Structure 1
Amino acid sequence: MAQTILIVEDEAEIARFIQQLLEKEGFSCLHSRDGQDALRQCQAHQPNLVVLDWMLPGLDGLEVCTRIRKQAGAHDPYILMLTAKGEEFDRVIGLSTGADDYLVKPFSPIELIARVRALLRRSLRQEAQSQIYRTPHFTIDIDRHLATQQVDGESQPLDLTTIEFDLLATFLSHPGRAWSRAYLVEKLWGDDFFGEERVVDTHVARLRKKIEPDPAHPKFVQTVVGIGYKFEDGESCE
């Protein structure tokens, strides 16, 4: 079955161009011209990926991205944000709202397809796995896409985006191992990622806010100076 992509773009010519590119590659496409309709279509159709324009009438792309991440549904779609804004500060804002990747306009057709395929390949790799990782405070069930944390002796579900879930799963797969930013980028986004390695820092910061008692002084996800990050949680549990 073809994977479904929702294109959220108010400029008809650009939307038609993107749709033609994606359908030529075998994807099934939906189209929304504004944020409210995008939220309705996400809830109704549960797309695998959303190509989301930053500048939209009414709700802008940042607000749409934030609300998509809060919607309950069977799928947590990947979000590729399109923006004419090129400054690093703007890119960080987009990623901090839950976007998985960004693409600056104008973009080449080859780059768009490469980024879409890189994100969706991560989904296919994840579906091929069947593993559960446990440490004293955390459990990740890859097959069921569930993450929990032990807090005061009780197991509490973690509300994680797809990237945060995969990042925590990677850390739990080898507690104590130091992970370079370059390796994490390759593992989480694939070989076709065109962005900067510092994108990892944004997602680590968001993950820390959800799992650390004091995100400013992280206990679990620790920075390894000159390398990247490592995860510590006592001895790994079988």
Structure 2
Amino acid sequence: MGYKILIVEDDQFISDMVSESLTKEGFEVTAAFDGEEALDILNTQKFEVILLDLMLPKIDGMECLRMIRSKSMVPVLIMSAKDEDVDKALGLGLGADDYISKPFSMLEVIARIKATIRRERHYKSSLSLEEKIIKIGDLSVDLHGFSVKKFNEKINLTAKEFNILKLFISNPSQVYTKSQLYKSVWEDEYHGDENVINVHIRRLREKIEDDPSHPMYIKTLWGIGYKLGDF
């Protein structure tokens, strides 16, 4: 397979366990044990996926993610304990692509990584077949450049936020339940974790809407799901 994975985890046992399992699956694995070391590695190497623990020495996971996102849109999967809901929401808001709760099974980790890589490859390869720029309301969405502008000012979206927006503008009349939205964007089975979707929708609205409390681009149909606003 040969895809490069960076594991940023200060627990030696967990790091070794994940590294060994991923190596057996054919991934090329690099390990960092604190945020500072991870950022140093990222200055010289590129990876397909980053597994990032939140509780790290020197530079914590939140700051590490923020610094990664200032330079790169590489998929980042957060790893953290189940009861850290606040950290989970903040991590996703800063641009994490997915969340893996500790303790986790390696089958789950491997499945998430493969789904992330498959999703990114499929999405990028499909862009050449589509219209490059879609204009809706005050937004200009560049499908090839993965960028969005509002009033000609660039809006910095995470990969997941961009994919959610693209899904809606590509299917303007369709209503998506949370299950359908998760399956379309995450390309994985939905297990009822509404927080993941709620955080992404809220963060996206904060970036593209004039008034996030009264959204015009992504409308909520209460008890049903979401759809693109009428333009």
After TM superposition, the score normalised by the length of structure 1 is: 0.87
Q: How does 1:53-92 map to 2 (within 5 A)?
A: 53-71=53-71, 73=72, 76-92=73-89
**Identity rate of aligned residues, in percent?**
37
1:120 matches 2:117: yes
Counterpart AA for 2:208: I
- Cα separation, 2, equivalents of 1:157 and 1:64: 23
- 2:40 matched to which residue of 1? 40
- Cα separation, 2, equivalents of 1:110 and 1:22: 10
Q: CA deviation at 1:67?
A: 1.8
Distance 1:43 1:145, change over 3 A: farther
- Cα separation, 1, equivalents of 2:14 and 2:84: 22
Kept in 2: contact 1:21–1:109 (CA 8 A): yes
Q: CA deviation at 1:92?
A: 2.0
- Cα separation, 1, equivalents of 2:43 and 2:180: 34
For residue 179 of structure 1, give the secondary structure of its aligned residue in structure 2: coil
> Which moved further from structure 2: 90-99 or 217-226?
90-99
Distance 1:192 1:228, change over 3 A: closer
1:162-204 CA-to-partner distances (Å, cap 9, x unmatched) read 1011111111102242211111100111125657133111101
- 1:198 matched to which residue of 2? 195
- 1:141 matched to which residue of 2? 142
- 2:3 matched to which residue of 1? 3
1:157 matches 2:158: no
Aligned with 1:225 (options 212, 218, 222): 222
**What stretches of structure 2 of length at least 5 have no aligned partner?**
none
**What stretches of structure 1 of length at least 5 have no aligned partner?**
none
Q: CA deviation at 1:113?
A: 0.7
Kept in 1: contact 2:6–2:29 (CA 8 A): yes
For residue 6 of structure 2, give the secondary structure of its aligned residue in structure 1: strand
Instruction: Compute the RMSD of aligned alpha carbons.
Output: 2.0
- Cα separation, 2, equivalents of 1:29 and 1:119: 16
- Cα separation, 2, equivalents of 1:120 and 1:193: 18
- 1:214 matched to which residue of 2? 211
- Cα separation, 1, equivalents of 2:4 and 2:99: 19
- Cα separation, 1, equivalents of 2:39 and 2:162: 22
Distance 1:233 1:69, change over 3 A: farther
Kept in 1: contact 2:182–2:189 (CA 8 A): no
For residue 51 of structure 1, give the secondary structure of its aligned residue in structure 2: strand
